[in-house]
Structure 1
Amino acid sequence: MERCLVQKKLRELSQRTQEGKTKVVFVQLGSPKSPKIPDVRAYLKEFLGDPRVVDINPFVWKIILNLFVIPFRPKRSAALYSRIWDGRSFPLIEITKSFSEKIDARLKDCDDIEVNHAFLLSSPRVHEVYTDWEEDLDERENGASELFAVPLFPQYSESTIASGIDGLTSVLEKRVRIPNLKVMTNFHRSRAFIDNSVRIVDEHIAKLKEQGQFDGLIMSFHGIPKRRVLFKKDPYYQHCYETFVLIRDRLKHANADEVHMTFQSRFGSEEWLTPYTDEYVQDLIENKNKKNLAVYAPSFVADCLETIDELGHELKVEAKEWGGDVHLIPCLNDDDKWCDDFAGFIKNQSLADVKTRKEDFYQMEKDTYMDMPQQEMKAEPLSDQTKLTLKIIFLTLFLDLVGFSIIFPLFPALAKHYLTVDGDNYFLQLIFNTISTWANTGGMQTMNSVVLFGGALGALYSLLQFIAAPIWGTLSDRLGRKPILLWSVFCLALSYVLWFFSGSFTLLIAARFIGGIMGGNISTATAVVADITSKENRSKGMAIIGIAFALGFIIGPALGGILSMWDLSSYYPALKEIGVNPFSLPAALAAILSFFNFYYIWKKFEETLPEDKRGTHETDRTFNPIKLFKPLPYAGVNLTNFGHFFFLAAFSGMEFTLTFLAVERMSFSSMDNAYMFIFIGLIIALVQGGVVRRKANQVGEKKMAVMGLILLIPGLLLIGKTYSIGILYLGLFFLAMGSSMAIPCLTSLVSMYTPSQYQGKSIGIFRSLGALARVVGPVVASVIYWRYGSHTPYYFGAFFLIIPILMISRLPKYQKA
């Protein structure tokens, strides 16, 4: 009996699914729930987290998105969304609903079609509509057996249509019952879309002409990166051009030479489709005397933030500043004639045969594409091999900085350990006796004496890097990059092995000595970047170096602090006989990572300097301090170089004495010290990515650098007087903010003031002076700390910063070439 009921149910279901009824679902992107920052943040995180929307390396993009985009962009975007918020919803949502209802009403007489709508990022979502379809199929005898998805994006693009298809297929992965599926991937050549666009545009141009306010029409399409079109073969640009031609050639109130095609809404730093709408409008107004321009956005069928605000508000404000005006032509929205025609289009596409469905579209002549402007990249994209090489260089530099900074939070505990177990060591005594003689005093107390240990080790490592960098660079010019990288990375790994077994202070000094020399391979790594990049895309490659430094500075101290919590020698006392000590675990991890890096270079790295080019390079790096301070004949460069030197000397002095102050004042452990450096690193990454990258050009590099230097002063003063964690972290916040603004802006200023043919020499001196500052700063700060107390180097540093502030303030105005 039960079996018969099941078979009957299956026959009924089979009969219904063969009836051929179609559910048409219009799919739009959607909007945030409200213009509140949390709602906008959630919307942007989901939207920009789609790999179809942003198609760069997922790991890299997650870091950029969560560190540099999501913390900052939602506030600005929320302000924009608030301008189009009606108190309960956004235009895109309401227009889509009204459009769907009107299409549904026009198809009521067609029993074979039902109409619904869904959003990718708003409610109702695709999965909700799909669930409704399943329930409807169970409850109704004439439920739809076919789903026809119609994304409301006229032109195809991976970032829109393909993203929507991904959303649909992700729903299907979790379902058992799959309907007959059909997806419309574009309708930019449909007669309904083109004819109604022409009608709407013509009506507005006619009105503007009557008022004497028409000098041209801008068809502004949403942009995408050029790379997608040129290398991924995305047909979006061709579809945009076809749309442009079909509309332009049918307009009655505008001549072909009065109609222009542009692209808007670019995001990020890479090249997008050109010409850019804002730049093109500015040129028309200022240079072509086209003061009144109509703007229409054929990428959208419903008005949204990109049309109402970006074109109707922001572009209009800019146009008035340029001496002209723009008049926004609304999208088709829920216009009655458009709804009539699109309803007929949907009906025909759903029910008619293939031949009849083709008649819904305009056909393009072959010679149409002869006049299509070619998109060209100013900077050639990085090849796969170049990207792999950059990954290797990134890892190399990252590990160099991890090795440099992993010891930061360990300095106080490290010093106390060796003073206890190896107090009579010749080198340990030499450090104290030498500086004691120089300072002509015995110091104040034990902690003040111990701080010299950190300054000495820090200065030693930096001094060796400073000396070794030009040597490694020169050798790599003669022997090739790969041999030098292999040798330096292998020896760096050995230095960590030596540190692992450094039961005596002598072995620790030897380990840091070798590590400092091998860490000078930054010059070789920088040369590799120059080898594999062109002038146009070198900044992208050099950015890898900056990211490696930022992450290394964050992760190095964190690893040092975390791993110091486990003392191998206490778990296995017998290991003390072979030199294993409480700080061996950080050394072990650094060694493992370095050996992995060595293997990776050996297996994957391809030589970037051919034999026929070896021995022809000239290095501008020098370890002669006198040559470094020799003035250069370029206005602004010397003040910037010396200002950077004095600033970094003060800042690095703080870096190397900070952990001792924290231990002395608040009894910090190595892990507590690690938290400080993690905090500093995160603030630096956030400010550089979210503020400096966006605002430096607007505010001006000189002004932002001065602002950063000024912010360092309250930071140093607060730390100098702190006896509480709250005040300490407030001071660290100011220091991180200031340094993250000053360092990249000073680097930019050197480059801006230097003629293009002398960039290498000028920036080489700039970096060498920075390395020298990291030698001088720790030594001077440590001696002051030792001689006059823990507060003095911070007060002295705050006062000392007046020098670089005055220097940078006196920089001449930058003249563009």
Structure 2
Amino acid sequence: MTMRHEQLTFPASKKNAKKVIKVVLVQLGSPKSPKVSDVRSYLKEFLGDPRVVDINPTLWKIILNLFVIPFRPKRSAALYSRIWEGNEFPLTRITREFTHKVNELTPEHIEVEHAFLLCEPRVADVYAKWEKELDERMDPAQKLIVIPMFPQYSESTIASGIDFLGKLLGTKVRIPNFEVITNFHRLQAFIDNSARLINEKLKSEQIDDLVISFHGIPKRRVIYKKDPYYQHCFETFELIKDRVSEIDSHRIHFTFQSRFGSEEWLTPYTDDYVCELAKSGKKNIAVYCPAFVADCLETVDEIGTELQEEVEEFGTTIHAIPCLNDDQKWSEGFADYVETLCDKPNEVAQLEYEVEEEKYMDMPKVNMESEPLSDNAKKSLKIVFLTLFLDLVGFSIIFPLFPALAKYYLTVDADNFFLKAIFGSIDTLTNVGGAGEFSAIVLFGGALGALYSLLQFVAAPIWGTISDRIGRRPVLLISVFGLFVSYVLWAVAGNFTILILARFIGGIMGGNISTATAVVADVTTRKNRSKGMAIIGIAFALGFIIGPAMGGILSLFDLTKMYPALESIGINPFSMAAIVAGLLSLFNLVNLFNKFDETLPEEKRGKHETERSANPLKLFKPLPYEGVNLTNFGYFLFLLAFSGMEFTLTFLAAERLNYSSMDNAYMFIFIGFILAMVQGGYVRRKAHQVGERKMALQGLIAIIPGLVLIGLASSSWLVYAGLFFLAIGSSLVVPCLTSLVSMYSPSNHQGHVIGVFRSLGALARVFGPIIASLIYWRYNSAAPYFIGSVFLIIPIIMVAKLPKPSEAKADS
């Protein structure tokens, strides 16, 4: 290696050199500053990289933009502020200083520069500079070598950088001879200098144990995507351990830090492991992080500050060993490596250590407690998610329109037989006890909703049982087509009879939810079923966010005023909402036909006869599967109380707070947002870990204060406080009870059992509003909420008595 001692400026010192090779050291980068806005921009770009978070892109965009970006930057900014050096962060400063040293330590024909993926200077800036040099220099760079400064290869780091470089080069006409170094985890300079720094620390301090901590990645990537990162970490660990002489090898530990999200990451987790060491009496623990070559948030704050805070209660001190940073010997060794890469590439292997073959016998096997969803399951769930989301948007789009619908048809079709029957029944009910003066029109919405639920109740187990016999695909196609027809009829419902027919068909076809739920059960196992059911919950939540909002907005577009001639074919003031719902169903139908593959193999299709009858009491006949009956009846009683709240909520809001239809839409949007946030976050991440039964109990208990607060509400903030608890509670109860009933039932009867479960829910939605309305009118607006909160004690007791699901029953 040639070493020059004269003072040189960087990188102009080599501008006159011949046959230049340009070497670019690439780091991830840091936010521009610790301001929340800068951290938000940084995280949005970083977490938006599909290599970094490699789940379904559409689902992740929803989670990222609704649940991560609005909340995480503030917390991350507080952490970044703790390592802010006034003008920049340690990572960017150290990278620049290290690059300058390496540049001066290499021969004159090698130019070493640095770039970042997520901050300035970016790789594109360095490339633009090279292009400019092509035009200005007689001998521009003959070769470009890119070295990502991540010692161990991982898809989320190295592959991400390669993707970025590939996209950049794809836009260029002039492409240099270039090479990307994918790892240097066994580089002698890296290993030897790491061991040297560790030994120096161990000599200066009385250390009980040494923890070598690597950045974690999801286990799924190692097991299913064959990411070599774990093996590279193990090799680095073994090579460093063999060269650490100041502590016994059995006191050197191999861990992983910085996990993110709900998946299982590589274990053991550094924080948990170090806490256990501290509990066992270890008072001085040194931690070194060889996944990083420059100190950053993960080393300075996560290890140096947060980990220290976790073990303080045990009287333990964390001794964070700095990364290699711009250490002189490390800089010299890396410069040697760079020179060899440029001038003697065939000799690079001589600068690397080999790991003895028998060492691999000690490498812990990576296993997952909760297996991930298969590619087939992900594909099916994606389609089911879209199907249910579009169905629920179409279903809930009518919610804010109920009062206006009633006024319209009372005006244009007052003599309609069905309309007279509904309002005659309402008058009879509301005059009981003399409390019938408050807006019978609002009750009209409850009547239409009860009709839909009654038909769904009838249809759900039938569709489920049919799907058990002929498969899920044909049932979904038929039912979605039926929904499309129902919206077409609604669009031309110039009289109330056609509207009733549209709701009749829609209610019957809405029973397809049981089939969609059975699809989830088909493609998941007992251990990951709650993840699949959470997808259904998210679809419901988002549908209830978008649907009412669209209904409120589309109510502003009255086609009868824009095109009066259309009234002759039945177009009405609500046709725009119906047309949009119909188009969504049509898109759903085409998507199902083209992309959905059958999930129930012929050999698993049940041959049993349906026990369905016209008698709703038959639903309460016990099924021969342990746990199913308690779950079904607990769900029925829960929804009996909850649906009563749903349908009387608009009455209470109108009576006490003078809410309009749009105000009601805002309440549904709020509920849907909380549902999506909780189900997309807590339920999706923690259901299997906490346990579906326990989580369902948490939800039932959370609903009680929500009911009480709404019962007491005299202002909007009390209403929304109550809705907050109700939304949290229902977001826990519904997906967890759905998961439980599927776990208790055998696979070849999933459609039938879940159909009964859904049908009981629909039956509860028939009787719940009727009972709650009677209580409302007979007593007062608070009564159904107070009584409902006490009534919930019954399903709480029932769910508490549920047995632990048996895998054999679930998957037999």
Is 2:592 the counterpart of 1:592? no
**CA distance change for structure 1 residues 514 and 815 in 2, over 3 Å: closer, same or farther?**
closer
Is 2:220 the counterpart of 1:227? yes
Equivalent position of 1:8 in the other structure: none
Correspondence list, 1:567-586, <5 A: 567-586=558-577
Correspondence list, 1:5-16, <5 A: none
Could you tell me which of 161, 167, 171 is aligned with 1:164? 161
Measured against aligned partners, the alpha-carbon deviations of 1:180-230 in whole angstroms (never above 9, x if no partner) come to 43322211111110111121222333444xx3x42x433221112233233
Q: Which runs of 5+ in 1 are unaligned?
A: 1-15
Is 2:335 the counterpart of 1:339? no
Distance, in Å, in 1 between the alignment partners of 2:516 and 2:64 is 27
Equivalent position of 1:34 in the other structure: 33
Structure 2 counterpart SS, 1:561: helix
TM-score (norm. length: structure 1): 0.84
Shift of 1:567: 3.5
Comparing 614-623 and 730-739, the one that deviates more: 614-623
- AA at the equivalent of 1:644: F
Structure 2 counterpart SS, 1:117: strand
Distance, in Å, in 2 between the alignment partners of 1:695 and 1:371 is 32
Distance, in Å, in 2 between the alignment partners of 1:693 and 1:80 is 26
Could you tell me which of 705, 712, 722 is aligned with 1:710? 705
Comparing 176-185 and 37-46, the one that deviates more: 176-185
Equivalent position of 2:505 in the other structure: 514
Equivalent position of 1:278 in the other structure: 271
Equivalent position of 1:184 in the other structure: 181
**CA distance change for structure 1 residues 258 and 814 in 2, over 3 Å: closer, same or farther?**
farther
- AA at the equivalent of 2:345: V
Shift of 1:299: 0.6
Is 2:321 the counterpart of 1:329? yes
**CA distance change for structure 1 residues 786 and 494 in 2, over 3 Å: closer, same or farther?**
farther
Measured against aligned partners, the alpha-carbon deviations of 1:647-680 in whole angstroms (never above 9, x if no partner) come to 5134312455479669x936x4x66654553344
Correspondence list, 1:292-441, <5 A: 293-321=285-313, 326-350=318-342, 352-440=343-431
Structure 2 counterpart SS, 1:302: coil
Could you tell me which of 724, 730, 733 is aligned with 1:743? 730
Correspondence list, 1:393-542, <5 A: 393-440=384-431, 448-542=439-533
Equivalent position of 1:242 in the other structure: 235
Native 8 Å contact 1:408 1:656 kept in 2: no
Native 8 Å contact 2:215 2:258 kept in 1: yes
Measured against aligned partners, the alpha-carbon deviations of 1:333-366 in whole angstroms (never above 9, x if no partner) come to 222221222222222222x223333322223455
- AA at the equivalent of 1:741: I
Shift of 1:137: 5.7
Structure 1 counterpart SS, 2:351: coil
Shift of 1:410: 1.2
Distance, in Å, in 1 between the alignment partners of 2:40 and 2:104 is 36
Shift of 1:441: 5.3
Could you tell me which of 255, 261, 269 is aligned with 1:262? 255
Structure 1 counterpart SS, 2:70: coil
Measured against aligned partners, the alpha-carbon deviations of 1:142-183 in whole angstroms (never above 9, x if no partner) come to 764543322211111121112223333444455555444332
TM-score (norm. length: structure 2): 0.84
Percent identity reads: 56
Structure 1 counterpart SS, 2:22: strand
- CA RMSD after TM alignment: 4.2
Native 8 Å contact 1:217 1:293 kept in 2: yes
Native 8 Å contact 1:447 1:660 kept in 2: no
**CA distance change for structure 1 residues 304 and 531 in 2, over 3 Å: closer, same or farther?**
same
Shift of 1:543: 1.8
Structure 2 counterpart SS, 1:389: helix
**CA distance change for structure 1 residues 291 and 801 in 2, over 3 Å: closer, same or farther?**
farther
Equivalent position of 2:199 in the other structure: 202
Distance, in Å, in 2 between the alignment partners of 1:777 and 1:744 is 19
Is 2:534 the counterpart of 1:543? yes
Distance, in Å, in 1 between the alignment partners of 2:287 and 2:196 is 15
**CA distance change for structure 1 residues 443 and 427 in 2, over 3 Å: closer, same or farther?**
farther
Distance, in Å, in 2 between the alignment partners of 1:17 and 1:232 is 46
- AA at the equivalent of 2:540: F
Aligned residues: 780
Q: Which runs of 5+ in 2 are unaligned?
A: 1-14, 806-812
Correspondence list, 1:91-110, <5 A: 91-107=90-106, 110=107
**CA distance change for structure 1 residues 634 and 576 in 2, over 3 Å: closer, same or farther?**
closer
Distance, in Å, in 2 between the alignment partners of 1:621 and 1:158 is 52
Equivalent position of 1:803 in the other structure: 790
Is 2:632 the counterpart of 1:644? no
**CA distance change for structure 1 residues 17 and 640 in 2, over 3 Å: closer, same or farther?**
farther
Distance, in Å, in 1 between the alignment partners of 2:372 and 2:736 is 26
Native 8 Å contact 2:450 2:769 kept in 1: yes
**CA distance change for structure 1 residues 489 and 179 in 2, over 3 Å: closer, same or farther?**
closer
Structure 1 counterpart SS, 2:599: coil
Structure 2 counterpart SS, 1:203: helix
- AA at the equivalent of 1:335: D
Distance, in Å, in 1 between the alignment partners of 2:71 and 2:737 is 28
Comparing 496-505 and 420-429, the one that deviates more: 496-505
Could you tell me which of 126, 130, 133 is aligned with 1:129? 126
Distance, in Å, in 1 between the alignment partners of 2:373 and 2:307 is 33
Native 8 Å contact 1:683 1:733 kept in 2: no
Shift of 1:63: 0.8
Structure 2 counterpart SS, 1:382: coil
Distance, in Å, in 1 between the alignment partners of 2:70 and 2:641 is 28
Shift of 1:67: 0.5
Distance, in Å, in 1 between the alignment partners of 2:265 and 2:38 is 28
**CA distance change for structure 1 residues 342 and 633 in 2, over 3 Å: closer, same or farther?**
closer
Native 8 Å contact 2:537 2:735 kept in 1: no
- AA at the equivalent of 2:294: A
Shift of 1:540: 2.1
Distance, in Å, in 2 between the alignment partners of 1:752 and 1:425 is 44
- AA at the equivalent of 2:766: V
Distance, in Å, in 2 between the alignment partners of 1:762 and 1:601 is 24
Distance, in Å, in 2 between the alignment partners of 1:681 and 1:751 is 18
Distance, in Å, in 1 between the alignment partners of 2:682 and 2:300 is 27
Equivalent position of 2:84 in the other structure: 85
Distance, in Å, in 1 between the alignment partners of 2:82 and 2:263 is 28
- AA at the equivalent of 1:155: Q
